[in-house]
Amino acid sequence: MSSRIKSQSQIVHRITISPVRKRLAEFQKVPSGLQGFVLLHLPKPIQKQLLKKLSNNEIRIIINRLDPDEATDLLQNISRGRARHILRKLAGEIKEKVEFLLRFDPRTAAGIMNLNYIELNKNITFQELSQILKRFEKKSGRFPTILFVENGTLKGEIPLSSLALAEKEEKVKKYLKKIPFIKYNRSEKEIINTFKKHPHSKLVVLDQDKSILGIIYSDDVLKLLEKQSANNLRQFAGVSQEEDVLDPALVKVKNRYRWLIINLTTAFLAAGVVSLFQNTISKFVLLAVYMPIVAGMGGNAATQTLAVVVRGLALKEINSRTAKKIIINETLAGAINGIINGVLVALIALFWNKNPLLGLVVALSMVANLIIAGFFGTIIPLLMKKLGKDPAASATVFITTATDVCGFFVFLGLASLLIK
């Protein structure tokens, strides 16, 4: 990494960790030539905060130094009225390109694409192509993707590497390579799936009439994957997508309190089960020592299962044919892990507390609760998916409830029967 890029990354980091009230002042210290780069690399919530505080003229100056697709990314984060006002004052060519890109939904292929390509509709020589590329590079500062079109239909790509291999008088069509494409209105999920099916550095975006609209590069897809991962992580933790790590305490409370209230309700269910066995616990107080062990192991095992199942759903590895097998495998894995951990905790109870019956109760409870964890850790996210809910966001509460309630019931129920 060059010292220049390191310096830019340090600026991004410094603004990110600055208190909310000081971020604008920190950003305005950045040299004007770097402000666009810094703004694009800041987390989305911080990016929106700064754009809201910057004047229309400041945003216009930043955008004039960016590529059209990057300028579009920024304008999509402000109100339409402000975006139209800024667009009216942009330079001619960038204005046309940004207006074109803003027509599309930002969550579709056309909303993600950029315009860094040229179309060839004649079988020209590499010498002629070289002149076209020089003009493009001088104008935009970048080398484009070279697409070959015949009778209005995309035929493929001329790889840039062929410029080094071919003779000047050779025709470009000789080096034509197939390139994957996608329709302009496809979703982010479909874009990612297309890249997985066709490992390639780029995708061509086509209009309804199969004419070329733009290009999606692999780094654009990486951004989608990062966004998807971040969203899944936030949802898994019950945290709002718009929450920033440096938000004030009251904002964090607003984004999280509903999840915590739901968890509190389910915790009372587990407490209700425990209250049914007050007499058993009062007669044998040592049971209270092992209760969190049984419940905790069940919760951990269920979280492991949930993570595997959610990943399988995200990667399309689970369908109606494989679901039954997955439920059986995860439940069986829970039983085997339960036996392993149950034997260990039984030995500890035997040598530490000198009570073989307590060891037996804890071991059986451990086996039962890890079976429950494997079963519910699989079945609940599958049901949530079937109901159209996000399994990463909604399943954790129900799985924790199942392992706590069932785990306590089995453990204290067996203790009531076996320990006198």
CATH value of 3-103 in 3.40.50.720, 2.40.50.140, 3.40.190.10, 1.25.60.10: 1.25.60.10
d(CA 89, CA 33): 19
The third-level CATH classification (topology) of the domain covering 117-237 is CBS-domain (3.10.580)
Q: What is the pLDDT of residue 229?
A: 60
| Count of CA atoms in the C-beta half-sphere (13 A) of 418 | 18
d(CA 18, CA 26): 8
Q: What is the pLDDT of residue 350?
A: 84
**Tokens 């030995």 label which residue?**
347
Q: What is the pLDDT of residue 201?
A: 74
The domain limits of the chain are: 3-103, 117-237, 249-418
d(CA 284, CA 3): 67
In DSSP notation, 240-302 reads: -TT--TT--HHHHHHHHHHHHHHHHHHHHHHHHHHHTTHHHHHH-TTHHHHHHHHHHHHHHHH
d(CA 404, CA 295): 5
Q: What is the pLDDT of residue 244?
A: 56
Q: What is the pLDDT along the chain (420 residues), one digit of tens a residue?
A: 445 455 677 888 888 888 878 888 888 888 877 888 888 888 778 888 888 888 888 888 888 877 787 888 888 888 888 888 888 777 766 777 777 777 787 788 888 888 888 888 888 888 888 888 888 877 777 788 889 888 878 888 888 888 877 888 888 888 888 888 889 888 888 888 888 777 667 888 998 888 888 888 887 777 777 666 655 555 554 445 555 555 667 777 776 777 678 778 878 888 888 888 888 888 787 788 888 888 888 888 888 888 888 878 776 778 777 888 889 999 999 999 999 998 998 898 888 878 888 889 889 999 999 999 999 989 988 887 787 766 665 677 778 888 888 888 888 888 888 876
Q: What is the pLDDT of residue 1?
A: 44
The third-level CATH classification (topology) of the domain covering 249-418 is Tetracycline Repressor; domain 2 (1.10.357)
pLDDT digits 0-9 by tens, 307-346: 888 878 776 778 777 888 889 999 999 999 999 998 998 8
Q: Which two tokens stand for residue 307?
A: 């993570």
